[in-house]
Amino acid sequence: MILVVNSGSSSIKYQVLKIETEQTLSSGLIERIGLSEGIISHYKEEELVYKKQKPVEDHSQGIDMVLKLLLHEKYGIIKDYHEIKAVGHRVVHGGEDFTQSVLIDDKVLKVLEETTYLAPLHNPANILGIKAAKQAMPDIPNVAVFDTAFHQSMPEVAYIYALPYKFYEKHGIRKYGFHGTSHQYVANKAAEMLGKSIDKVNLITCHLGNGSSITAIKNGKSIDTSLGYGTMCGVAMGTRAGDIDPAIVVSMMEEMNMSADEVKEILYKKSGLLGISGISSDMRDIEEKDEQGNARARLALDIFADRVRKYVGAYAATLGRIDAIVFTAGIGENGWEIREVICRGFESFGAILDPEKNKVRGKRVEVSKDTSQVKIFVIPTNEEMMIGNETAKVIGIL
């Protein structure tokens, strides 16, 4: 059994996985850590068996609660914590130091701490989770699985920005890319569906959720991706603008007298689907309003689809040959209407959507016509399973 931990600044999400059978035995969420009332939800397989509100002081107390629940006579699934063979931690940023998942020792932890400036909102919380797990289960190995690692295979031409080169050399400003665990998971599944080995497939994977990114994968390796140094660029997202002309940022500061924090707030929290529509950041709300004839909802949908389509087109040119285009994450897996809009024009590079097959939500299926040279797949992502798999590989049990 592998325990997967995704530790946020005020939350801990966890899953216990049986890797050999790809089964989730237990999962849960601790929210509002450090606030007056914490919320603990614990599942045995799919069933919510425990839900309570009580204060959770810090991550260390949170991990102790997770262990107590896993060991509990009624709600638990283990008798001794040694049944957990390793803890796999989602770590958002590995900088340039980590190109794959690693066993965490003091040296790794030190490098992670030095990398926090690249992901100030996420990495400190991930580190808290690691320290808490080490404290609670001192003799169980911990493994870090990075969102950025899969993209470390990008060539210089893709990851260097056309800025003075010293920005890269002195400040580490380059494209890192994110959602790597998800892109890698669906790429492996797509290779299985194509009946080819992963190192022989060329793919464009579209992770479309509240945050979105598109990745070009050549011979199983990421060679370009739409998120960059941070998580604001690429396609338009729920509340994030995606690619915009940097002159707008200068104008916001110089003409509109906004502070850096105000600009950040606009680009990160008030833009994207929410900003355009003025309705919501949630694709379901936008689709509902569009059906009622709301013009701004329609515009938000069209802009979202346009930006995704442009990235797929650009990556089709970068890759040359493509085996499949993959849709995943909340919108990619479920939003068949938006998939239909996105895929308009894909015929030009041999990907033909079958509108009937496409009317599906949340299932692993091919949705292209039988005659389509380039396949189009819907593949539900499972980042936790990928983290579990990576963890099992690092400790040598897979």
Footprint of ligand AMP (CB under 6 A): 209-210, 238, 282-284, 287, 329-331, 334-335, 361
Q: How far is the CB of 118 from ligand AMP (least distance, A)?
A: 22
Measure the CA–CA gap between 288 and 272, rounded to whole angstroms.
Answer: 17
Q: Which residues of 238-276 are buried (b: 16+ CB within 10 A; e: fewer)?
A: bbbbbeeeeeebeebeeeeebeeeebeebbbeebbbbbb
Among 43, 52, 59, 44, which Cα is nearest to 7's? 59
Distance CA 222, CA 93 (A): 16
The strand pair at 203-208 and 221-225 is best described as unpaired
The nearer residue to ligand AMP, 84 or 331, going by C-beta atoms, is 331
- Residue with structure tokens 């998942």? 101
With CA atoms as reference, report the closest residue to 95 among 105, 78, 108. Answer: 108
Separation between Cα atoms, residue 245 and residue 190, nearest integer Å: 34
- Min. distance of Cβ 330 from ligand AMP in angstroms? 2
Residue 236: partners with Cβ closer than 8 Å, 6 or more residues away: 212, 242, 271, 272, 273, 276, 303, 304, 307
CB of 211 to ligand AMP, least distance (A): 6
What is the closest distance, in whole angstroms, from the C-beta atom of residue 210 to ligand AMP in the complex? 4
C-alpha–C-alpha distance, residues 100 and 115, integer Å: 15
Catalytic site residue from 97, 147, 282, 285: 147
80 catalytic? Reply is no
Closer of 188 and 280 to ligand AMP (Cβ) = 280
Which residue, 109 or 279, has its beta carbon nearer to ligand AMP? Answer: 279
Q: Of the two residues 159 and 311, which places its CB atom closer to ligand AMP in the complex?
A: 311
Of residues 384, 378, 386, 390, the one with CA closest to residue 190: 378
Where do we find the tokens 């499949």?
324
Output the CA torsion 221→117→6→388 (10° steps): 30
Residue nearest to ligand AMP (CB): 330
Which residue lies nearer to ligand AMP by CB, 218 or 289?
289
Query: Measured from the CB of residue 181, what is the shortest distance to ligand AMP in angstroms?
Result: 13
257 φ, ψ to 5°? Answer: 55, 35
CB 324 within 8 A of CB 190: yes
**87 vs 329 by CB, closer to ligand AMP:** 329
Least gap, CB of 81 to ligand AMP (angstroms): 30
Active site residues: 147
